[in-house]
A and B are shown apart, each in its own frame.
Chain A
């Protein structure tokens, strides 16, 4: 084969390359299949699904299931659709992400630029938060929320997620700030900037990449959380994930698969959006936070 003689690390033979692309294409199809099934079935009338042929393209295209999932489907006992729960989720996720990211940044700032005795031990202890399984804290957390009068409220959920998120956000920001030149902080001190002025004016403006990592990570985790939402939320504060479960699991009436599919996509949309918008910063930030340490 004359092509084979050109094989180098850079130029691979055409046949090999085709094979590689073929395999990659198969993987893409394999991974895209669930999304395809969800999308296709969410725009079909129910009878097309129950009549079999889940893989077929819709014969009648309809957005009815989407509208129903959003605004009129039976969630538990109320025919409200997912809409109120979507806003529950938003009003839980946004403050939780913001607070845990800011606190993580502050922790990272203190742990690297205002070193004190035993700070590494403290940091090590904070890392435990990353390893404690959710289930262990359910009962003590429920008791604490009750004592604080935050049980069944959105703010209770925000608190839980902030507490759980600080471990991760601190880890990210500490590693990022560890390689941030300390001379800058000292120069700012001599210039007369205080603790928070140095943080806002010098460190935060340079923290873009790691802030994106922290926000994506926290957003995905908190949005997708089911356990805390199911355990600590009241009827009016349940997040999207719990509502989706109630939608799909409701045992009365006909199982409206097309509505379920549409609801599932609605629940996944915000995280998808975050990844599409900020995804490329995610990898960049992960790298900048971890390579040097």
Chain B
């Protein structure tokens, strides 16, 4: 039994099922991020935890209490909305204490709690202002203050950073992470931004089409994606998925990949069990940062393969240079050091860290387990 259990939960609108048998168990103090493209059901799931949407079947439990049909205010949860949803007619202080007032907390206690939270979030100077007079970042803080003051079992965040500009978003991301580390609260956080998901979470549920595609730690999700959707959704630029054929060379399984001119090169697998796939087609998954020049190749890796291929485009991005080429008739991106001497139109020898490469079954699009 976890702290928050989502047990075989589905959601239907009429005959249309939008969430299919979701099964997630969250431990106390965990930071679970629900991530996925828009329309994947992540916000619906969050609203079901909050009690704003009904549960069609299955159960949601908080601290072993079944929450189906329990009013949102009685679940001891707090929610931060994408638009912040601050009450425009109340001051910041009134916004923060409104929930306590509705729960019948006496005024002196409300004031005390308000000042504590305001000090924690550094909004004590704003308490008498109206939300309309605040900047985006300040509103964000007030919205978090309103959630914190209730001291809830579970915090729910619904894309809280997507209305902020890029710089502020990074700052607030760090602050949310700090807050979680300091307070040790249980958080369920919805976002479509895979970087937010990877940086904030202790665990991630990647969702698509109403299904949880994979549930795991950020490292698992990134290194061992369950399927091609997860592989390409998480990480920027996305993981390269290259059509390849498995052969045996010198007793080792290798992936045969077509270069830009159609000649075939071989990349040896680290996984022995790939030998079972001899003669069959697979999809080879390679993260851009594992394709580098020789000098930048991971020294700890026992399996660096080399291939010489024509460079199509280089995109310098300050810290890195993105180099694209054609492999197996697909565009493949390599993430190089910014000072790597790569010229478009010329041939270049790349070093591929095959220890980090994964293989997918082209029929099911699932990862072939090592």
Question: Is residue A186 contacting chain B, with contact meaning CB distance below 8 A?
Answer: yes
Give A187 to B150 CA distance when docked, in angstroms: 13
Q: Are B81 and A189 interface neighbours, CB within 8 A?
A: no
| Smallest CB separation, A109 vs chain B (Å) | 15
Q: Are B99 and A191 interface neighbours, CB within 8 A?
A: yes
Q: Pick out which of these stretches binds chain A: B72-80, B193-201, B298-306.
A: B72-80
Give A187 to B77 CA distance when docked, in angstroms: 11
Q: Are B89 and A183 interface neighbours, CB within 8 A?
A: no
Question: Is residue A192 contacting chain B, with contact meaning CB distance below 8 A?
Answer: yes
Question: Is residue B82 contacting chain A, with contact meaning CB distance below 8 A?
Answer: yes
Q: Are B89 and A202 interface neighbours, CB within 8 A?
A: yes
Please tell me which one of the listed residues B79, B82, B87 contacts residue A190 in the complex, with CB atoms under 8 A apart: B79
Q: Are A184 and B72 interface neighbours, CB within 8 A?
A: no
Give A170 to B98 CA distance when docked, in angstroms: 28
Knowing A181-B85, A202-B87, say if A187 contacts B79 (CB, 8 Å): yes
Knowing A187-B81, A205-B89, say if A192 contacts B73 (CB, 8 Å): yes
Question: Is residue A12 contacting chain B, with contact meaning CB distance below 8 A?
Answer: no
Q: Are A193 and B85 interface neighbours, CB within 8 A?
A: no
Question: Is residue A141 contacting chain B, with contact meaning CB distance below 8 A?
Answer: no
Question: Is residue A290 contacting chain B, with contact meaning CB distance below 8 A?
Answer: no
Question: Is residue B102 contacting chain A, with contact meaning CB distance below 8 A?
Answer: yes
Give A183 to B50 CA distance when docked, in angstroms: 13
A206 contacts which chain B residues (CB < 8 A)?
A: 88-89
A16 contacts which chain B residues (CB < 8 A)?
A: none
1/0 contact trace for B80-98 toward A, CB 8 Å? 0111010111000000001
CB-CB contacts below 8 Å: A198-251 with B? 201-202, 205-206
Q: Are B83 and A183 interface neighbours, CB within 8 A?
A: yes
Q: Are B87 and A188 interface neighbours, CB within 8 A?
A: yes
| Smallest CB separation, A292 vs chain B (Å) | 16
Please tell me which one of the listed residues A181, A189, A205 contacts residue B83 in the complex, with CB atoms under 8 A apart: A181
Question: Is residue A197 contacting chain B, with contact meaning CB distance below 8 A?
Answer: yes
Q: Are B78 and A188 interface neighbours, CB within 8 A?
A: no
Q: Are B77 and A190 interface neighbours, CB within 8 A?
A: yes
Q: Are B89 and A197 interface neighbours, CB within 8 A?
A: no
Interface of A is mostly: helix
Knowing A183-B83, A197-B102, say if A190 contacts B89 (CB, 8 Å): no
| Smallest CB separation, A194 vs chain B (Å) | 8
B81 contacts which chain A residues (CB < 8 A)?
A: 183, 186-187
| Smallest CB separation, B6 vs chain A (Å) | 18
CB-CB contacts below 8 Å: A18-72 with B? none
Question: Is residue B52 contacting chain A, with contact meaning CB distance below 8 A?
Answer: yes
Knowing A189-B72, A190-B73, A190-B79, say if A183 contacts B85 (CB, 8 Å): yes
Q: Are A186 and B73 interface neighbours, CB within 8 A?
A: no
B71 contacts which chain A residues (CB < 8 A)?
A: 189
Give A188 to B146 CA distance when docked, in angstroms: 11
Give A189 to B73 CA distance when docked, in angstroms: 6
Knowing A191-B99, A192-B73, A193-B98, say if A184 contacts B87 (CB, 8 Å): yes
B102 contacts which chain A residues (CB < 8 A)?
A: 191-193, 197
| Smallest CB separation, A204 vs chain B (Å) | 9
CB-CB contacts below 8 Å: A153-200 with B? 181, 183-184, 186-193, 197
Question: Is residue B63 contacting chain A, with contact meaning CB distance below 8 A?
Answer: no
**Which of A183, A190, A201 neighbours the largest number of chain B CB atoms within 10 Å of its CB?**
A190
Give A192 to B79 CA distance when docked, in angstroms: 12
A188 contacts which chain B residues (CB < 8 A)?
A: 87, 98
| Smallest CB separation, A203 vs chain B (Å) | 9
| Smallest CB separation, B149 vs chain A (Å) | 10
Question: Is residue B103 contacting chain A, with contact meaning CB distance below 8 A?
Answer: yes
Please name the residue on chain A nearest to B152 by beta carbon: A190
B89 contacts which chain A residues (CB < 8 A)?
A: 202, 205-206
Q: Are B98 and A189 interface neighbours, CB within 8 A?
A: no
Q: Are A190 and B78 interface neighbours, CB within 8 A?
A: yes
Please name the residue on chain B nearest to A182 by beta carbon: B85
**Which of A181, A189, A205, A206 neighbours the largest number of chain B CB atoms within 10 Å of its CB?**
A189
Give A188 to B102 CA distance when docked, in angstroms: 9
Give A196 to B328 CA distance when docked, in angstroms: 64
Give A184 to B83 CA distance when docked, in angstroms: 9
| Smallest CB separation, B163 vs chain A (Å) | 12
Please name the residue on chain B nearest to A193 by beta carbon: B102
| Smallest CB separation, A270 vs chain B (Å) | 30
A193 contacts which chain B residues (CB < 8 A)?
A: 73, 98, 102
Q: Are A192 and B83 interface neighbours, CB within 8 A?
A: no
Q: Are A184 and B85 interface neighbours, CB within 8 A?
A: yes
Q: Are B88 and A190 interface neighbours, CB within 8 A?
A: no
Give A202 to B74 CA distance when docked, in angstroms: 20
| Smallest CB separation, B62 vs chain A (Å) | 14
1/0 contact trace for B89-122 toward A, CB 8 Å? 1000000001100110000000000000000000
Please name the residue on chain A nearest to B150 by beta carbon: A191
Give A186 to B47 CA distance when docked, in angstroms: 10
| Smallest CB separation, A224 vs chain B (Å) | 33
Please name the residue on chain A nearest to B71 by beta carbon: A189
Give A193 to B89 CA distance when docked, in angstroms: 15
| 15 interchain pairs, CB-CB under 8 A | A183-B85, A184-B85, A186-B50, A186-B85, A187-B79, A189-B52, A189-B71, A189-B72, A190-B51, A190-B79, A191-B102, A192-B73, A192-B74, A202-B89, A206-B88
**Extra inter-chain contacts (12) besides given A190-B51, A202-B87, CB under 8 Å:** A183-B82, A186-B79, A186-B81, A187-B79, A189-B52, A190-B50, A190-B52, A190-B73, A191-B98, A191-B99, A191-B146, A205-B89
Q: Which residues of B line the A interface, CB within 8 A? A: 50-52, 71-74, 77-79, 81-83, 85, 87-89, 98-99, 102-103, 146, 150
- Name the 10 nearest CB pairs between A and B, nearest first: A192-B73, A191-B99, A192-B102, A205-B89, A187-B85, A183-B85, A190-B72, A183-B81, A193-B102, A184-B85
